[in-house]
């Protein structure tokens, strides 16, 4: 039996997994952000809920484990940031601990139980508040020991002009410290920033999309530029990884006409030609982080 935990900035969600078809949610608790002892005690309370002894604890976290040092970068939860979290929790709780990035867990869930079933190489793309991703090959997560594979949202790769007719795109600063990253325009906040840059209008992403779907000229232009900017890096990612399906999660994945536009643009730019959708809406809509962490834990125990 595995206890899986999805660690968010506001809440920790738990689950019990006995097999990939037997994953049961346990509820949620507030996340202690600034007190590691309280954080560990919250995890202990999930363990106490079950009468069984878990084989391991598997965590989905919005952060990255450095594969060299095993230290976690997790800016929104200070008490676990820059810790060797797996080792620290193992010492506190007495059980093996597996830590994985939330986008990686999402991709594992999609590869095993979602839109990626039947595909050898699955690239999961997150278009949420920001941009993230994960890579699964032959049923195994590429970042099994921690790492940065799948982070297509970062790196100075954006085109300096886009759209039809082309417009100049400044190299916008990114939270990672670089400029011109896909993350600066690709997520919901990025779409808002792009609309502001192009038209000097402040609208939430939902309103921009609603205007686009009504045919409003400026919103249509923004979506045209957005699609052009995001499609090329995503097509390059498909070329490099060899992925044959790209399930998309995050808030923007709910806008299926936008995914259809992105799919059309990406398939027109990949080296391999696909005669069916490549960029698709994710199928694991409920708790993909929890499910993905459980799958990773089950695979680790079985290895």
Share of the chain above pLDDT 90, in %: 91
Spatial neighbors of 274 by CB under 8 A, at least 6 apart, are: 244, 267
For 248-273, write each residue's pLDDT tens digit.
999 999 999 999 999 999 999 999 99
For 111-146, write each residue's pLDDT tens digit.
999 999 999 999 999 999 999 999 999 999 999 888
Residue 239 pLDDT more than 90?
A: yes
Architecture of domain 2-104+286-302: 2-Layer Sandwich (3.30)
Per CATH, is 119-281 categorized as 3.40.50.720?
Answer: no
Per domain, the residue ranges of the chain are: 2-104+286-302, 119-281
Token pair for 24:
């049961």
pLDDT of residue 223: 98
Q: Do domains 2-104+286-302 and 119-281 have the same CATH topology?
A: yes
* CA atoms of 134 and 142, how far apart (whole Å): 8
Average pLDDT, the chain: 95
């Amino acid at each position: 039996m595995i206890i899986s935990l999805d660690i968010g900035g506001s809440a920790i969600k738990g689950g019990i997994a006995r097999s990939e078809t037997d994953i049961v949610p346990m509820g949620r608790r507030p996340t202690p952000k600034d007190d590691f002892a309280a954080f560990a005690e919250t995890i202990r309370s999930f363990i106490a809920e079950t009468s069984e002894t878990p084989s391991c604890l598997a965590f989905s976290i919005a952060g990255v484990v450095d594969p060299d040092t095993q230290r976690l970068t997790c800016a929104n939860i200070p008490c676990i940031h820059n810790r060797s979290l797996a080792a620290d929790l193992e010492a506190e709780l007495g059980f093996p601990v597996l830590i994985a990035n939330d986008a990686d867990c999402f991709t594992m869930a999609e590869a095993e139980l979602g839109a990626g079933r039947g595909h050898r190489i699955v690239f999961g793309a997150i278009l949420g508040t920001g941009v993230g991703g994960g890579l699964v090959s032959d049923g195994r997560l590429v970042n099994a020991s921690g790492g940065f594979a799948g982070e297509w949202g970062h790196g100075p790769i954006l085109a300096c002009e886009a759209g039809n007719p082309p417009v100049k795109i400044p190299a916008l600063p990114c939270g990672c410290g670089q400029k011109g990253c896909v993350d600066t325009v690709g997520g919901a906040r990025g779409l808002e920033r792009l609309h502001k840059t192009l038209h000097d209008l402040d609208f939430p992403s939902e309103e921009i999309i609603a205007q686009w779907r009504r045919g409003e000229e400026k919103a249509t232009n923004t979506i045209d530029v957005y699609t052009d900017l995001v499609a090329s890096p995503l097509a390059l990612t498909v070329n490099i990884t060899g992925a044959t399906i790209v399930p998309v999660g995050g808030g923007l994945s709910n806008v299926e006409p936008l995914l259809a536009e992105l799919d059309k643009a990406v398939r027109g730019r990949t080296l391999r030609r696909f005669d069916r959708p490549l960029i698709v809406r994710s199928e694991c809509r409920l708790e993909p982080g929890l499910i993905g962490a459980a799958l990773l834990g089950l695979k680790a125990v079985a290895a």
